[in-house]
Structure 1
Amino acid sequence: MIALLPGVPAWAQVQGQIIKVLSYNIHHGENTNGQQDIAGIANVILATNPDLVALQEVDSCTNRVQKKDLLKELAAQTGMYIYFGKSMSHDGGSYGNGILSRYPIEHMYTIPLPAKGEGEPRCAAVVKVKLPGDSLLQFASTHLDHLENPAGRMAQADKLLKHFSKDSLPLILAGDLNAEPSSPEISALTSIFIDASEKLGPTWPADTPTQKLDYVLLRPSSQWNVVNALVLQETVASDHRPVICELLLK
């Protein structure tokens, strides 16, 4: 069962735009029973009713998902706008990060991230969405290197820092960063971002999580308040637990 966040306090409702964000590594739609179950991921999204969703480990038309486009299937089940950022070609199709948005997408692009050693190609999928009132917000979904050696993650974090550090639009960067909060990679990112998920516990593995790998990061700090943040007690749909944050954009 998924626990929903408490109601937003009245003071938050009148001071800015409340945005609910979900970050979820969906393990190419394979649940912890080894079954393809994209409906299980859709149920998490529908139950939590987010405005923006950052997805990692998304397959597009690969053989292992029977040539299905997972992001389009989720769009059909949730009624949200989508963008797929390709990290690499894989198994007859593509593999990367996805975004679902309740807000219209005005612009979309992919940032290739550098690989080191035996690391896989990685990317950040980025969209600019139009909020009620016509203001713009940037939202990015990323998945950093998984190797024990942090060199790849550091190079990828540096690329993200250089790309976003001079951008004036408010930004949410969410995803599986494959690093613990005390790591140099997270310290580098939080030099310009605030961690909306800072007080949350472990997110992986889903059944009995021991490591915090999934994050929601914000900038600039002057434009954001964190209203609520939660690791959902979902143990079957993927090998990661989803993270959801309610944010106030001032």
Structure 2
Amino acid sequence: MQRSVLVFMLCMAGASPLPAQVQGQVIKVLSYNIHHGVNNKGELDIQGIANVILATNPDLVALQEVDSATARVKKANQLQQLAEATGMYIYFGKAMALQGGGYGNGILSRYPIQESYSVELPAAGAGSEPRTAAVVTVKLPGDSLLLNFASAHLDHRENPADRLAQCGILLKHFGEHTRPVILAGDMNATPASKEITTLKSLFTDATEKLGPTWPSDKPTQKLDYVLVNNTSQWHVMSATVIEETVASDHRPVICELLLK
């Protein structure tokens, strides 16, 4: 779905005002750790995740904890199920083999995907899991501009060493890109952490003013983010934590971004 806008004196809650007559393209981004489709009732319910996506109508979706053909999801291809429910293009970035299938990050896009790949993230600590960032390149409608969009899930353990190493790989990879980049996902780190401070050497947190996202029933920590590079190209029009308490153990976050 194409979204473009000519903005006149825009001033929304939680966002700074834009100068008059700034033209650009509005991109709605959703980030959601879906807990492999198992809801807070312990039920496998990928349709609950699809309902959140359909209700929010995003252009780009970064998903974490996605299963593909594992025994615990009854061999379902969860990303394909979401594609069928939403009509969006998909890319699955497998991070590890699991139960006869795969586990990793997913991307849904209303824009055709020009290129897709995964960036392997280091996981060396005891009890760590393989991690990746799934990355797609999309061509924005009505424009020749290419945009990179990534879904990342950083290490979950208390020790930040692997997360910091993973942040370093992300900075090195995306620091070499000249085109606009949106990096979204479950960073397993709070806003004041060294991990987020490290990422902010390149990225701006479009969700900076948002509250906690985990656990979804009574959230106490902000772990989920939408980050953008090259701040001068972007304006955050709105950012919201969606008050969904059942479909996953994380609450989704959604942003409307103006790419100028």
TM-score (norm 2): 0.92
1:210 to 215, 220, 225: 220
Task: Return the offset for 1:10.
Answer: 3.9
1:50 to 27, 37, 58: 58
Kindly indicate whether residue 239 of structure 2 is the aligned counterpart of residue 249 of structure 1: no
2:123 to 115, 124, 128: 115
Once superposed, what is the RMSD of the aligned Cα atoms?
1.2
- Specify the SS of the correspondent of 1:241: coil
**What 5-or-longer segments of structure 2 have no aligned partner?**
11-20
Kindly indicate whether residue 39 of structure 2 is the aligned counterpart of residue 31 of structure 1: yes
| Contact kept? 2:6, 2:22, Cα under 8 Å | no
- Specify the SS of the correspondent of 1:20: strand
- Structure-2 residue corresponding to 1:5: none
Deviations along 1:131-188, one digit per CA (max 9) or x if unpaired, are 0123110000000000000001000000000111121010000000000000000000
| Contact kept? 2:7, 2:23, Cα under 8 Å | no
Q: What are the within-5 Å matches in structure 2 for residues 1-250 of structure 1?
A: 10-11=7-8, 15-117=23-125, 118-132=127-141, 133-250=143-260
TM-score (norm 1): 0.95
Which 4+ stretches in 1 moved above 6 angstroms?
none
Tell me which moved more, 133-142 or 229-238.
Answer: 133-142
**What 5-or-longer segments of structure 1 have no aligned partner?**
1-7
Distance 2:102 2:244 in 1: 27
Give, as a single letter, the amino acid of the residue that structure 2 aligns with 1:180.
T
Give aligned pairs, total: 243
Task: Return the offset for 1:85.
Answer: 0.2
Task: Return the offset for 1:116.
Answer: 2.2
